[in-house]
Structure 1
Amino acid sequence: MAQRDREPQREVILGDSKVTLLGTAHVSRSSAEKVQQLLQGGDYDAVAVELCPSRYNALINPDDLAKMDLLKVVKEKRVLMVMTNLALGAYQQRLADQFGISPGEEQREAIRIAQESHRTLLLIDREISTTLKRVAGNLTWWKRLTLFAGILGSILSKEEVSEEEIEHLKEGDILETTFAEFAEDRQDLYIPLIDERDQYMAARILQELASKGHEDLLVVVGAGHMNGIANYLQSPMASPDERISQLEVEPKPSRWPKLIPWMIVALVLSGFVIGFQRSPSLGWQLVMDWVVINGGLSALGALLAAAHPLTVVTAFVAAPLTSLNPAIGAGMVTAAAELFLRKPTVADFARLRNDTTSFRGWWKNRVSRTLVIFFFSTLGSAIGTYVAGFRIFERLVD
């Protein structure tokens, strides 16, 4: 197949501006070469890339992970988001190892040439955190759980990328391909991962043309986005600014998942009251059940995550108390304890991206291990809450 077919192009004329859309494959060396060829031989006055500020920073400053405030991540409850990003990075590293080229090489090339030639560089993609939240908002809680489990499970796999996955990668959107590998229903992912981003990037291009008046713009995007962006550019869009604002709205979390823990706390405390009213011995037996089951399962989770022995003890003590206050999770306490007992070194942060490409590496690296401890101890406490709750109910009805 000729190179021009692998890197399709479309031109869109918008008033006095010409927009050249170059469809690329993010794991294709020929795509990087095509970007170089166009920019070195063309008269483009600006270059737009399929990156948001966060992904741009991660691409050009990969060592920024070393500056991550892990305790702040825990306090702000961003552990699952960080773990997901690391797992996605691990999957993409597998691609790099198999193809011998880093994903996004054509974006790096576009950035490099734009900066060296003093061309305006435009970041037109939506923030990845917003996209991930809108993906989650488009899935049921069960599909979110299976998707997250699948992404984390990818670090266990030593298999090379299949032929089917390679074909999807040739379509050019690595974010969509990465998620789609673990999704049961890819249609659920299409709107937030592809269609919304097509609209967003088209609106960003129109916004930049209106404000800066670029006459000749090269847009480097995954081939899977090229036609969608072109179609939205040619369709009437009353207000690009308004459309961007609409697509940046993050879905509000449902209220009922937040209410359930408080309802469980109310039931458990009511159980304690009823137990002590019947007899002090029954009341204390219920308290003992709560402490042993909840604390034991949280401690087991910390133990499975290879936590420090004192962190395991902390999990046992903290979980029965934190479960009665859903605002503070057991994982927050165990992660803080682990950070105090085994403070990550600069080398841990430096190796984080590579270590998380393997199952063993997640437990070996102090940064990722702290995240795993948070997750497992929280999961253990959550399971313990329900198990202990049912145990209390059984004693009361006997």
Structure 2
Amino acid sequence: MKRECLTIIGTAHVSEESVNEVKDAIYEQHPEVVAIELDRGRYVRLKQQMMGIEQDDTISVSKIIKENKVGLFLTTTLLSYFQSKIGADLDVAPGSEMVGAIEASEDLGIPIALIDRDINITLQRALNKMGFIEKSKFLVSLIASVFGFGEDEEDIDVEELKNPENLDELMEMFKDEAPSVHEVLVHERDAYLAGRINGLPQDHVIAVVGAGHKPGIERYLDNPETLPDLRELEVINEKKGIPWAKILLAMIPILFVVIFFLAYFSGINITWNVYEFIVISMIMGFIGSILSGSKLISAIVGGLVAPLTIIHPLLAAGWFSGLTEAKFRKVRQSDIKNLSKIESFRDLWNNNIFRILLVVIGTNLGVSIATLVILPSKVFIPLFMKIFGG
């Protein structure tokens, strides 16, 4: 690819002006290939929408919970909400500029190159790099955006977001809030997009990318020797280092079991303590689930499995109550789209995504209170005192 024959168009993903800019450039230049910031999955979904093909938009929440991808799904959902909300406010569908690029390319018979990394790889790499505090800050920021976004709707000027000075300020703020996310979502994708563009065999290329990526892509293309191996950017590495939080959480149930065994071998009657452990665990699992708005059967399931999940560090009662709730609440892609239309808590309460995740979180919270507060004070500390004659 000849650098001088490359045109990079930085767009706002929910801007009508960006749609027109993209189409005009393709029709005027008639390039050999149009590179667009989409992965295969998103491209297929956009094409199906363009062709009016109705999909089975059911989302398998059961699979998400079983594969322990609730965090990944929640992050994806909140990001989708944020973009959909802006698009709804401006009456422009997210990805419209990509649709415009596809339509113009197909009209002229120009091939399309998909240059983005799979979104699931990107988000998983970001989550793997984040620590607990950073994840918490990022989640709070996203949720705050969801509930506080409407306050400044009249001040939104999406075209101003494409201004390099504004982008630098926005990226710097993002870097301060969540540096690991910034590294993966911005720097890594800058490198990935630049690498894919650099590897195109055609000379005359128009690349359609988000405005935030344009400066980084240009820096890499001006210095191609700095481009990393793209295969390294597609690997999902587990976090390195000692997972102290997981170790501590695993030690709690182990400690409970040890105290029970020590009491038993010391000749202390632990029958009543075992009953207390089971009853308290079940009650707190049930209460956590039912207060989060679950069906009665989901709360019962959450309560029944609570004692086992406390002893087994790899299980969570919320998974079971959430899986049960998912049997009654079918989640569809429309539930994600409808997040952008939420104006009140009632709207949020009627959204199945929110309700199922709330049941998972509520059940786990109830069991966590039992594990960290009630059971130690009511069962294990008194038992420990008996063992050592306190």
TM surpasses 0.5? yes
Q: Secondary structure at the match of 2:237?
A: coil
C-alpha separation in 1, matches of 2:279 and 2:168: 43
2:130 is paired with a residue of what secondary structure?
A: coil
Q: Match for 1:87 among 55, 71, 78?
A: 78
Q: Measure, in 2, the Cα distance between the counterparts of 1:193 and 1:201.
A: 11
Structure 1 57/386 Cα, relative in aligned 2: closer, same or farther at 3 Å? Answer: farther
User: Residue in 2 aligned with 1:217?
Assistant: 205
Is 2:217 aligned against 1:234? Answer: no
Cα separation, 2, equivalents of 1:191 and 1:259: 27
Alpha carbon RMSD of aligned pairs, Å? Answer: 3.3
1:338-379 CA-partner distances (Å, limit 9, x unpaired)? 234x252xxx52631244343434432445422332232233
Flag structure 1 segments of 5+ consecutive residues without an equivalent: 1-11
2 CA distance for matches of 1:168 and 1:315?
Answer: 49
Cα deviation, 1:259-305, whole Å, max 9, x if unaligned, reads: 33332221110122233345655x23433443344333332332233
Is the 1:150–1:182 Cα contact (8 Å) retained in structure 2?
Answer: no
Partner SS, residue 20 of structure 1: strand
In structure 2, distance between residues paired with 1:60 and 1:312? 41
Asked if the contact 2:318–2:360 (Cα under 8 Å) also holds between the matched residues in 1, the reply is yes
CA distance in 2, matches of 1:203, 1:185: 27
Q: Which amino acid aligns with 2:187?
A: D
- Identity level (%): 26
Distance 1:35 1:164, change over 3 A: closer
Cα pair 2:138 2:177 within 8 Å, conserved: no
| 1:386 aligned residue (353, 372, 375) | 372
Give the Cα separation in 1 of the matches to 2:274 and 2:175.
41
Task: Label 1:351 to 1:132 Cα distance change in 2 as closer, same or farther (>3 A).
Answer: closer
1:26-51: CA deviations, max 9, x gaps? 22211110111111122212111112
Q: Tell whether the 8 Å contact from 1:130 to 1:248 is kept in structure 2 after alignment.
A: yes
Helix, strand or coil at the partner of 1:326: coil
| Partner of residue 326, structure 2 | 339
Alignment length (residue pairs): 372
C-alpha contact (below 8 Å) 1:294/1:381 kept by paired residues:
yes
- Equivalent of 2:57 in 60, 66, 83: 66
SS at match of 2:205: strand
C-alpha separation between the residues in 1 aligned to 2:294 and 2:255?
31
Give the secondary structure class of the aligned counterpart of 1:297.
helix
CA distance in 2, matches of 1:178, 1:311: 43
Residue 95 of structure 1: how far off its partner (Å):
0.6
* 1:170–1:159 CA distance, 2 compared to 1 (3 A): same
Partner of 1:352: 335
How far apart are residue 197 of structure 1 and its match? 1.0
Q: CA deviation at 1:387?
A: 2.3
Cα distance change, pair 73–234 in 1 and its aligned pair in 2 (3 A): same
1:317-344: CA deviations, max 9, x gaps? 111112222333212211232234x252
Number of the residue aligned with 2:126: 135
The separation in 2 between residues aligned to 1:65 and 1:251, in whole angstroms, is 32
1:195-274, aligned counterparts within 5 Å? 195-207=187-199, 209=200, 213-237=201-225, 243-254=229-240, 255-256=242-243, 257-274=245-262
- The CA distance in 2 between the partners of 1:329 and 1:179, in whole Å, is 37
In the alignment, does 2:292 pair up with 1:321? no
Equivalent pair of 1:24/1:220 in contact (CA under 8 Å): yes
Q: Which residue of 2 aligns with 1:43?
A: 30
Distance 1:275 1:383 in 2: 24
Query: Over residues 234-275 of structure 1, what are the superposed CA-to-partner deviations in whole Å (9 max), with x where a residue is unaligned?
Result: 21338x6x6111112223135524433332221110122233
**Equivalent residues of 1:27, 1:169 under 8 A apart:** no
Q: Give the distance between the partners of 2:69 and 2:169, measured in 1 at CA.
A: 24
Q: How far is 1:67 from its partner?
A: 3.6
Q: Aligned partners of 2:46, 2:170: CA distance in 1, in Å?
A: 17
Alignment deviations for residues 135-191 of structure 1 (CA, whole Å, 9 cap, x no partner)? 23443211112212332454434624565895874359xx99999988862544432
Unaligned 5+ runs, structure 2 = none
Aligned to 1:297: 284
Partner of residue 13 from structure 1, selected from 2, 27, 30: 2
TM-score, normalisation: structure 2: 0.83
Q: Which segment is superposed worse, 39-48 or 373-382?
A: 373-382
Change in 2 beyond 3 A, CA 1:293/1:177: farther
Q: Which runs of 4+ in 1 moved over 6 A?
A: 175-183
- Which region of structure 1 is more displaced relative to structure 2, 143-152 or 25-34? 143-152
Aligned pairs (5 A) from 1:110-129: 110-129=101-120
Please name the residue that 2:361 is paired with: 375
CA-to-partner distance for each residue in 1:191-218, whole Å, 9 max, x for gaps? 22211111111111122x2xxx212110
Query: What's the counterpart of residue 8 of structure 1?
Result: none
Q: Which residue does 1:55 correspond to in 2?
A: 42
Give the distance between the partners of 1:83 and 1:90, measured in 2 at CA: 10
Q: Structure 1 residues 222, 296: closer, same or farther in 2, change over 3 A?
A: same
1:3 corresponds in structure 2 to: none
For 1:306 and 1:181, the matched residues in 2 are separated by 36
Equivalent residues of 1:151, 1:182 under 8 A apart: no
